[in-house]
Structures are given as structure tokens and as C-alpha cells.
Structure 1
Amino acid sequence: MNIRHRATLKASERGKNLIQQARKDKGWIIEDERWLKEASKILEPQKNWFTIWETQVKANSIALTYAEGISLSTWKRFLQAKYRIDAKTFKEAFCPVLGLNWEDVVENEVERRKDLGKVPLLSKFYGRTQELTKLEQWLQQETYRLIVIYGVGGIGKSSLVRQVLNNQIIVNKYDYIFWRSLDFAPLLPELLTFIQILSEEQESKADISQLMRYLRQSKCLLILDAWEEIIGRSGEQYRDYTELMERVAKEAHQSCVLLLSREKPSFIETLDDKLVHSLKLGGLDSKDVKDFLKTEGIYGTEKELDNFSLTYNNPWVMKRVAKKLKKVCGGKITGVFGEISVVVDDAIASFLNEQFHRLSKLETNLLYWIALRRNSASLTQLRKDTIKSKSPLSASELLNALDSLIDKFSLIEKSKNEENDLDVYTLDLVILKYITNQFVAQNCQEILTILQNQRIEGNELFVSHCFITDNPEDEELTQQQMRRIVKAIQDKLLAELLSQQQLEDELKKILSLLQDKELSPGYTYQNISYLIASCKSA
């Protein structure tokens, strides 16, 4: 059923700033009843408001009466400029009470139709020439109904789309543009409130069929940011999102929906690729990273700049590290990379935690194996490494997990080993450092728990993963594993215990626990022996 609404208005972003300044200049707090009293006098001057309010005060009325359309809640909505209010109240009461011309404050027709209020602010944009060109071409073609841009957090998905919206040819192609964030996983009816704009305020019903009707009637570009928040939700109330995307892809219309996600949505695999496109964003190339460094005032030798670009190519991480370099070293890289190979501070670790915690246990364990092999893990090696696990991976499980980490989560890449021409699986160096830190920290915690409880559960990391893999022809890798895994775990454990001797004695107690015949030892004996040997050589 269609419901006809009264005309409504909302302030623009500029108008919101004017409102806030005018209110501050007046000096009254938001809840001050004088706002409502003055607005009532302006809106209905024929009434004797002083007498009305005086009578109500004497009668101990719970609330005063104001002019029609005037209330504290409406006043607050007006100030927030998020929601539309009655046009007469907007123009003839609230704007005059602030001494503002309503035409300077109101959101105009272009702003209303091209609703980019939720668009992230765009800082300096670097590179992405090919991706930018490809996305612009897709948006200008009539055939693409659904476009998915995906990649790890901070890689620049929102920035890429924001840059495209600077192209007026693209913007002018569409009658309506809406950018909505899914950060807090709104239910679909909450998201579809923009249907009121599409219907010129004549529709209050917000469902998929209504939206599809408007996507057919007008050229709309709907941008949904943070789609991974919907992927991570289960339950009936979120299934309509998938239904919406399937209908967008399959039904005829003249609009386009653009999804931005840290994860590749599984449903696009079943859709017609003539109507649906996906674009995976990787790290910036070396030239773009160097352009960024130059703009940010970071300097060093050519080799040092090359090292930086090889280590950092995620724009969010780059900005974080550059800010730290400017603060601590005045922007000078020289000498820093000799002491600190990869920076993973608390902010970067917290940022990566968000993505890491979305993985299954199988996917997490596989990342640990790739990190253990220091970016040189082949399929054969991974299959061999996991054989001793408490629950060995089948070939199918291994392939599915690798595919998920490569294509869905964009966390690992496949490349060729130049020496033997084998495919190897690698991690971005920042992610490699983060995963290694996680592996070391979890092993330490599990060992300390065993020392306290005197019991091995059998699902600990040092049971399922070997600290030093079988590397008969790669002594350099063995040395790296000794230094970055065994020694790192030893140092962390030593910080909790009194001496090397105490640590060695406690580790020997763990070996004695292996006499439990029901326990599957996995890599326990091998790993604890490496730690004991490291104590002896310290």
C-alpha cells in the first residue's frame, strides 16, 4: 500500500555546519525550551503563546504545548541533518529561529539524488591506473548489473571507488547515486530507507521488490561498503541480502550495484559473468609506493626505498609506518631497516586481527605452515608437513583451504620458485611477520599452561606444527626457523621464568608427559627438543 507523505526537507552538509555555528553563536544548549518557544511564535504568531504557557505552568502540566510540527525530537533531527523533517517546520520555524535563510541550509536536488554523505574522505590517491580504467569502463557499460571489488583491509577499495566518483562522466550517467556502509550490519529494511528518495517521498515500503522496481525505472548506482560484515552474519534476517544480490544480477534493470568487501562473496561464483564482474585489489606497485614516500616526505637511498616498497604495499599500513618514521626519524629511512626488518606495531596487529579472526581453524593452521616455511611452501611440502598433525589434511581439504586463502581472503599469493619452477605460496611480508608473532605468542602461552597444569591436551600448536620443517637442502631456511621461531619462543618463555636452567628443566617435564600412551605426540618431542637444545647453546 502506498502512503502519501507531507513534503519534507533535510539540511546539506554545508547547511549542517551553518546550523551548528548559528546554534553556538546563540549560546543556548540543544535542550533549551527557548528554541521551541521561539519557533512556535514564528510559526503560529496569531496565538497568545505567553498566556498558553503561563496557564500550563500554573497547572503543573507535564509538558508545554508548541506549534504543530514543533517538538524537541524534531528539533534534534533538524540539528543532526541526518533525517528529513516537515518542510514547513524546516523553512518557517527552525531556520528563522537560528537567523538562517533556509535556501542556504537545505539539501538541494543534486545532493539528494547523489547521496554521498557516507563516502570516506579521499586523501591523496596513488597509482591504480589499470584498476581505475577498468572500473570506469564497467560503470559506463550498460551490461554490468553487479560489480564486486574485494581485497584485504586497507588495500584501497573505498579510495578506488571514491576516485571514480570524481569522474563527472560516470556521475552524470546515473540519476541517483547512494553510498551506504554496512559496518554495523544493518538489517536490509534499515538499509533500504533511501527508497523514500527514489519515490520522491511517496513510498514508505522498503523491500526487495520495491527496490528492483526503482532500479528498472531509473539509472541508480548503489555502493555498499564493508560487505564482509554481511558475510560474517548468520540467521534468517540476513539471507535477504543474498536474495537481493541474486535478483540484482539476474533481473533486467538499468542500474548497477557495487559491493566493496574484504572477502569475495561466494554467491558470485554461480552468477553469469556477462552481467557480474569482480575485481581483486592487490598491493601498490613499487613506483606508486615511492611516489607515496616522496609526497609524505620519507627519504633514503634508492636501495632503501626499494626495500620499503617490497615490504609495504598496503596503503593503510604504508601510512601508519610513514607516520611513525616521520615522528621518530624525521622521515629518514637510513639505518631503520637494518635494525627493524618489518614494523608490526599494536595498531597494525589490531588491524590484521580483524581479518585473521574471520578464518576457519583449518585456514589459520595453513597460514602458520606457510609462515613456518618463510614464504617458500609448495603444495607437496604442505601436504607432507600436515601428515603428522592430529587431524591430517586430505588433498581436497588442503586445496580448498588454499583456494579460500588466495581467492576469498586475498591473504596468500601463488608464485613460481625460480630455482625449481614449482608453485609456492607466499604471504605479504607484513602479514608474514604478524602470523609469525601470533604463532610464537600462542606457543608460549600453551607451553606455560602445560607447565602449570602438567597436562598436554593434544590440540596445541607445538603438537600440530613443527618449528623446524624438513629442509634437507635448505640450511638457510633451517637457520631462519631456529632464529625466528625456536629462539623467539625460548626468549618469551625465559621472560616468564627465572633462568635458562629452570626453563630447560621445565621443558624436560613436558617430554615426560609424552609417556601417556593415549596422547598423539605429533611434533611435540621434536619441538621441545629444539627448545632444550637452544637453552643449552645459549
Structure 2
Amino acid sequence: MHKRQRLSLKASERGKNLIKEARIKKIEQARNERIEVQGKIEKAWDIDEMFLREASKILEPHQNWDCVETYAVSLMTWRRFREAKPITAINFQAFCQVLVLNWEDVAENKADANRDLSEAPPLSNFYGRTQELTELQQWLIQERCRLVLIHGMGGIGKRALARYLVDKIANKYDCLIWLSLESAPQFQQILIKLVQFLSKSEKEEGDISQLMQYLHHQRCLIILDAWEEIIGNSKEDYTNYSVFVERVAKEVHKSCLLLLSRIKPQNIEILEGQLVRSKRLGVLTYEEAKEILIAEGLSGTSNELEEFSRRYSNPWILKKIAQNIRNVFNGDISPFMDVSIFVGDAVTEFLDKQFQPLSKAEINLIYWVALRRNTASWNQLLQDKKDFLTDAQLLQTLEDLIAKHSLLDKQIEELPLIYILDPVILKYTNERFIRENYQEINQVFKTEKINGSELFISHSFITEHPKDEELNQEQMRRIVKPIQKMLLAELRSQQQLEDKLRNILSLLQDRGLSQGYANQNILHLISACEQI
């Protein structure tokens, strides 16, 4: 029996890359041989015209295609071919012949048609996360969970883990699609993509109920990446996303929705149960970080590698620092270990993005933890917050920073339990706190006005309860003196700086704020001036 001939063909994802590579090679070859179309080959249209002409010679070899205005195949068809969209089989095969490609290697097969990973990150080397992988496979394959959330701070490896997981379990599903929400698309756009994919392009659009029918009749895996990007969408649009997620979680069907998010959404937390699970990704273990360091081409003693992995336990940050070490020290971490925690421009920009969605209360709480240099207990935070947060607000903000944003952690080995920041985040937070205080105090110098919400009012530069001489000396060195030096560099006069700081004391008294942290903080800055 003859194979049924396919009337139309489209490139697979691999085929799309083959087309791109072959096209570049063909263009370079044409340039090297000085082949020109209508006098030039530099213009994009002229380059495309070269391919149209050669394909036309294959499709209709008896025609003279050297001096014509139209060809046997259109520019639009050529673009559809390159973009992996369906075109007639005869045109598809002609284009492949022009590019010296076997069309069967380029064309999408049945398995490819049921998978759409065009918006997924490329599959790359993957290290560690063995326990997380085992648990996720258990939820998706054995327990057949309907909704699974992988969440954690940016750069922690959610995408890499999910991409590796998907590759391992793809054959367990009838169809699989990965969609990115990074550009915060409207729900209707995502709905149309899902309906078209799951209906094999038989339907151009549909509603959530129709989509649920596809999930009921087929075993589908849908990955929605960067869920945090749509949380700030318009109320109506986010409601539509939420309705879809809730229906996936509650209705009976064969499929699974896998969400990747920096933030743990409240509605997912409410839905959690037997068939709805969430996995928070934490920092890398020493062994996992060591694997990445070696793969990144870094070398050092076991002690150096262990200390390095303790300092830089976020995969994105670790790889960025590894790049610095390769460039400067040729991959040897030994000289770099003499440097304190390093937070360069790229890491600062990365962490700025992590802090962007935080509320003022959340940032204030991170500062209170940072000021105590990762020794803050619940009772100490109760003292530090004073009247700026209620006890209930402090509890909720702590929970959000730990469970929702993954920016704060607990050290349960200590008694009483203490709250800690990752070493890089601690260093970044310290530098951010210094910079913001400098800017706010400098603004008061210029305007002689205090609005009452400045950081030097809400946060004590040197904590006093309980008294800790070693911590206080560190706070003087890491907080007070850097702020004082920045202000002095701005004014260029020690006497002028002292005068302006004493003027702030008068402004605080006028505003009735002299009993809080502000008065003591300004006195510490004056004391730092006097010690010069």
C-alpha cells in the first residue's frame, strides 16, 4: 500500500533551525561567489528573490526565470516556509532542494505536530534538583495532578527544571505546548493559541468550556511560563486567567496545567490539595552548585568551591559571577575568594527586578532583617518595626516574603528561629539601603522638609535591643560610615555636613519626630563626622 501523500507540509522546530542555518550558508556562498540578483545582493528583497528564482527553476524548469518580475512561488509562501507555517508540499520540497536539505528531515512529523515547544527555552545541560524532579514526576505521571505550580525567585532555575522535566515525560502525553507569558499577553490571545493547537488548527477560536473539552478527551500538558507577568494585568483579564486555572484545578479531565512563576499567587494557594500541588525552588546545594561551577570551567580547592557555592547559590547569579572569573582570572576562583561578596552591575540590575513588585512594607522588612546581619528573630523584628507595622501586618509580610516571593528564608537550626537573606541579597540590600538613605537625607538638606516616611526615621542604623557590641560595630562600619562618606563627598566640607545634620535634628523636633530612630541615626552620622 502506498503512503498517503501529504498535501501540505510545515517545518518542525528542528527543521526551522535547519532552514535558518542553510539559508545563512547559501547567502554566504552567494556573496563569496559574487552572485548578484538585479545588480545587488545586499538588500533583503534581493536575497529573497534569489531563493524564489531558484525554487521557480525547480518547479517549472522549462521557463526562463532570469529576467522576470514575478516567480512561480510568492514571497509570502517563502516567508511562511521560513516561519514554520504550512505551505503546499510541492513548494515545501522545492525550497528544501534549493537549500540542499532533505525535506523529510525538515518537515514536521506526527509527533512534532502534537508538541509545540517554540516558546520554550532550549534544552541545555542540567545539574542537580534530583529530589525536585522525582517529586514533580510523581505528581504529574503517577498522581495525575491537574495543576502544578513551580515557584521561586528569579534565576533560581524554574525554566531549566521544567524544560528538563518536560523532555523526560513528553511521551506520556498526547499533546504538549509551552507558552510564555513574559509579554503579559491578553488571555484571549493565549486561549486562541491553545484552541488552535489542541484542535489541530480545525478551530480558529473558542471559549474556556471548549478548551476544557479538549483537556477532557486528550491527555495534554500545558506549560504557562512567567505567570507573575500577568498578575498585574487588568482586573478583567487576570480574572479570565484565574477562571481558567480554577476550572483546570476543579473539573474532571485527563490533562495537567504546569505554571512557572516568581510569585506564588494567592488563588493557587487556596486551591492546593490532592490534585493541585506547588513546589518552591530554593537555593542550590553545595554539590549542585559545584557541578555547575565545574561545567562553567571554574577550578579551585574543595574548600574554595564550597565557600563559593555558599556565597552564590542562585544559578543565574552563580553563572554570571563565573563569567567574571573566567574573564579576569582565567577560571581560577582562588584570587577571587579574597574579594567579599561581589555584586556587580548585572547582578544589581537583576535584583532590582526582583524587588520591583514588592510593597513598601515588604522592602522595609527586608531592610530590618538586613540591618541585623541575618540574626533577626521574631521578637527583635517586633521591636524594630515599632509602630510602622501592626503585629498582624508583620506576620503577613514575613509569610509573603518567605512563601510568595522566596526572598527571605528561615534558619531553623537556631533557637530562637531567625530570618535570613541569601548572602548576595544581603549585600545588595545593604548597598541599596545606604544609597536610599543618602538620597533621602540629601533631599532634606536641599528642601529642609521631612515627609515622615524616610528610611532614617523607620529604621535604626544601629540596633540597640538586645545590645550587641560586635553587631553595632559592624553596623557603624557597614551602614553609618558609608552614608556619612557619601554625604561628605557631596558637600565637600565636614563642617557644612555637621551643620546640615544638626539642622535635621531641629526639623525633627519641629515635626515631633525626635523620639524615634531618626534622632539617634542623625547623631550617629554626626559622631562619624567627628571621628574623622
SS for the counterpart of 2:278 is strand
> Which residue pairs with 2:437 in the alignment?
443
Contact 1:148/1:277 (8 A) holds in 2: yes
- The residue identity in structure 1 corresponding to 2:315 is P
> Which residue pairs with 2:258 in the alignment?
258
**1:130-187, Cα deviation, whole Å (9 max, x unpaired):** 11111111121253011101111111111112222342xx221111111121111112
1:358 CA drift (Å): 0.6
Give runs of aligned pairs for residues 481-496 of structure 1, distance below 5 A: 481-496=475-490
Distance 1:92 1:292, change over 3 A: closer
Equivalent pairs, count: 510
- The residue identity in structure 1 corresponding to 2:367 is Y
In the alignment, structure 1 residue 31 sits paired with structure 2 residue 45 = yes
Give runs of aligned pairs for residues 402-413 of structure 1, distance below 5 A: 402-413=398-409
TM-score of the pair, normalised by structure 1: 0.87
> Which residue pairs with 2:226 in the alignment?
226
- The residue identity in structure 2 corresponding to 1:77 is R
- The residue identity in structure 2 corresponding to 1:108 is N
Distance 1:514 1:200, change over 3 A: closer
SS for the counterpart of 2:472 is helix
1:36 CA drift (Å): 5.0
Distance 1:205 1:480, change over 3 A: same
Structure 1, 189-198 or 94-103: larger mean CA deviation: 94-103
Distance 1:93 1:187, change over 3 A: farther
1:408 CA drift (Å): 0.3
- The residue identity in structure 2 corresponding to 1:516 is D
Give runs of aligned pairs for residues 22-421 of structure 1, distance below 5 A: 22=23, 24=27, 25=29, 29-32=43-46, 33=49, 35-36=51-52, 71-81=74-84, 84-88=85-89, 90-91=91-92, 94-95=95-96, 98=99, 100-167=101-168, 170-192=169-191, 193-338=193-338, 340-387=339-386, 392-416=388-412, 418=414, 421=415
Residue among 498, 501, 504 paired with 1:507: 501
State the distance in 2 between where 1:330 and 1:40 align: 53
State the distance in 2 between where 1:230 and 1:454 align: 41
TM-score of the pair, normalised by structure 2: 0.88
State the distance in 1 between where 2:411 and 2:133 align: 25
> Which residue pairs with 1:61 in the alignment?
none
Question: What is the alpha-carbon root mean square deviation over aligned residues?
Answer: 2.7
- The residue identity in structure 2 corresponding to 1:254 is K
SS for the counterpart of 1:31 is helix
Distance 1:16 1:530, change over 3 A: same
> Which residue pairs with 1:56 in the alignment?
none
In the alignment, structure 1 residue 466 sits paired with structure 2 residue 460 = yes
Gaps of 5+ in 1: 1-5, 54-63
Distance 1:520 1:213, change over 3 A: farther
State the distance in 1 between where 2:368 and 2:393 align: 15
Contact 1:471/1:478 (8 A) holds in 2: no
SS for the counterpart of 1:514 is helix
**1:462-502, Cα deviation, whole Å (9 max, x unpaired):** 11111111244421111111111111211222222213333
**1:251-300, Cα deviation, whole Å (9 max, x unpaired):** 11111111111111211222251110111110111222223333334333
Structure 1, 321-330 or 370-379: larger mean CA deviation: 321-330
State the distance in 1 between where 2:232 and 2:51 align: 45
Residue among 515, 522, 525 paired with 1:528: 522
Distance 1:255 1:26, change over 3 A: farther
SS for the counterpart of 2:510 is coil
State the distance in 2 between where 1:495 and 1:336 align: 29
In the alignment, structure 1 residue 453 sits paired with structure 2 residue 467 = no
1:452 CA drift (Å): 1.3
Structure 1, 449-458 or 508-517: larger mean CA deviation: 508-517
Distance 1:206 1:455, change over 3 A: same
State the distance in 2 between where 1:424 and 1:508 align: 36
1:336 CA drift (Å): 3.2
SS for the counterpart of 1:260 is strand
State the distance in 1 between where 2:99 and 2:412 align: 67
SS for the counterpart of 2:139 is helix
SS for the counterpart of 2:362 is helix
Distance 1:336 1:142, change over 3 A: closer
Structure 1, 241-250 or 22-31: larger mean CA deviation: 22-31
State the distance in 1 between where 2:393 and 2:7 align: 58
> Which residue pairs with 1:15 in the alignment?
15
